[in-house]
Structure 1
Amino acid sequence: MRLIPAAILEPRLRLVEHGNVIEGQAFDLGSIPLEGPGTRSRKASPALSRKVMDSFHYSTMVRNRFNDVGDKGVYYAGTTLPAAIEEIRWHLDNDEGVPFDKTRVYRAVSAKVSGRFLDLRGTWEMALHPDTEKGYPAGHRMAAKAREVCDGIIYPSARHLDGTCIAVFNPEAVSDIRLGRCISFEPISEREGKQRRFGYRMHAQPHELAAAQAASRAAMQHA
């Protein structure tokens, strides 16, 4: 599961709460064809799939655990949505240069990953250190060697307890890309002497609300 800024993936998307537009222009989620009743994700179109895969084609402008500024792109994801959320939230809370006065909307993107991976679960390597000044340089050295023989690295999340992340080097290892819910990260505190903090909310799509309402009506009739 990967979270991608909606402004990049779907620039016309908007979320509305209490009549206020959070971000973007009008976009009718209800008009999106579904794969089946109650489906929570939809298969990404070829155009959106290409945007998701852009992770491989552009060098990063910031340091990440397994690629440095100017290195080849890496597809980072969590094996669960909570892991992906906590990884993004940590960066919003801690990365320099991220303004704190703006809500950010992301789209949850799921995909299947297969291939040959270096598995760091159950191990301790300096590349896993939660301190970026210690973990990132070691991760860059490890990734330089791993790229020669692996499609990516599986590793325990430094930001989500018991969470697992994956860094994919080879775009051929990623398939079946699907779009899920929107998640908004909203500033909730930055008082003097306290660390900045983003909260998050998951936004149900119209078809999810309709399915929940139908299930509620059916339960009431059965009762």
Structure 2
Amino acid sequence: MKLPVTNIAEPNTVRLIPTGRLKGPILAALVRHQGDLDDLAELESATNDRLIAENAGMPELRREDLIYSRPYRTFINAAFAHTRPGGNRFNSERRGAWYCALEIETSLAEIAFHLTRELINIGRFDNRTDYTELFAGFIGPFHDLRGTAEQTCLDPDPSIGYPAGQALAAELIAQGGNGLLYPSARRPEGTCLVAFHPHLVQDVRPGAIWRLEWAGSPEPTIYKA
């Protein structure tokens, strides 16, 4: 597929992650000495996809593709090593990607949609989750879906949009593409960015904490915590 390419210089794209990921190992308080901590680390490395990828690589994610000496590198690597069953809009379940937005409102709309889907699946709108902003910079050429003819990969229905998006991403990666700019399916006036390669994610740093709260309704209350 022939798509326009835009050279971008975006210093403050924003991604939201659960604040729990910023905390240290929950079992660390139980260990008495370094040997016990080392044993816990070894146990975690056997089941943690990020650590597996960093140590030995994965079928579609080479060890040398990951980041090893950059602040917040674990968050970058985790985005590519941890995937959900069935994948997301522009990545399969075999390799992740870095998703972010140009506006915090867009990131919040995306997160709210996906977490609401999970609550619909369990049939209970009773939840409170805190997310922290992760800002990152991107420089270089990205394929651009904004302003193009209607694309199946942008369909708001994941069962339609995701297979088409994953096929497009595979094609662009094979061509050496960096990623995509595209209109948000959850906030049409917003812009999302997906990066296909870890080294593209620059200058990661944390920002504010946001709370999403559901209290009996599928519409969450969203505010800074």
| Post-superposition offset of 1:137 | 1.0
2:79 matched residue in structure 1? 55
Structure with greater helix percent:
2
| Post-superposition offset of 1:64 | 1.1
**Contact 1:9–1:48 (CA under 8 A) maintained in structure 2:** no
Judged with a 3 Å threshold, the aligned counterparts in structure 2 of structure 1 residues 128 and 174 are, in CA distance, closer, same or farther, namely same
RMSD: 2.2
2:19 matched residue in structure 1? 6
- 1:107-126 matches, within 5 Å, as 107-123=132-148, 124-126=150-152
| Post-superposition offset of 1:97 | 4.6
- 1:160-199 matches, within 5 Å, as 160-190=187-217, 196-199=218-221
| Post-superposition offset of 1:52 | 4.0
**Contact 1:60–1:72 (CA under 8 A) maintained in structure 2:** no
- 1:49-198 matches, within 5 Å, as 49-68=73-92, 70-95=93-118, 97=121, 100-123=125-148, 124-148=150-174, 149-190=176-217, 196-198=218-220
| Post-superposition offset of 1:118 | 1.1
For residue 90 of structure 2, what is the amino acid of its counterpart? F
For residue 117 of structure 1, what is the amino acid of its counterpart? F
SS in 2 for 1:103: strand
Q: TM-score, normalised by structure 2?
A: 0.67
Question: For residues 154-204 of structure 1, what are the alpha-carbon distances to aligned partners after superposition, in whole Å with 9 as ceiling and x for unaligned?
Answer: 1000101310001111111110111100011100333xxxxx22221113x
Following TM superposition, the consecutive aligned residue runs of length 4 or more in structure 1 with deviations greater than 4 angstroms are 96-99
2-side partners of 1:112 and 1:155: how far apart? 17
SS in 2 for 1:115: strand
For residue 170 of structure 2, what is the amino acid of its counterpart? A
**Contact 1:92–1:198 (CA under 8 A) maintained in structure 2:** no
**Contact 2:98–2:196 (CA under 8 A) maintained in structure 1:** yes
| Post-superposition offset of 1:62 | 4.8
Question: For residues 45-89 of structure 1, what are the alpha-carbon distances to aligned partners after superposition, in whole Å with 9 as ceiling and x for unaligned?
Answer: 956442243102233335311123x22111000111111010001
Structure 2: runs of 5+ lacking an equivalent: 1-13, 26-68
**Number of equivalent positions:** 165
1-side partners of 2:76 and 2:17: how far apart? 8
Higher relative contact order (CA 8 A, sep 6+): 2
For residue 158 of structure 2, what is the amino acid of its counterpart? T
Judged with a 3 Å threshold, the aligned counterparts in structure 2 of structure 1 residues 86 and 120 are, in CA distance, closer, same or farther, namely same
Structure 1: runs of 5+ lacking an equivalent: 13-44, 191-195, 204-223
| Post-superposition offset of 1:114 | 2.1
| Post-superposition offset of 1:145 | 0.3
Q: TM-score, normalised by structure 1?
A: 0.67
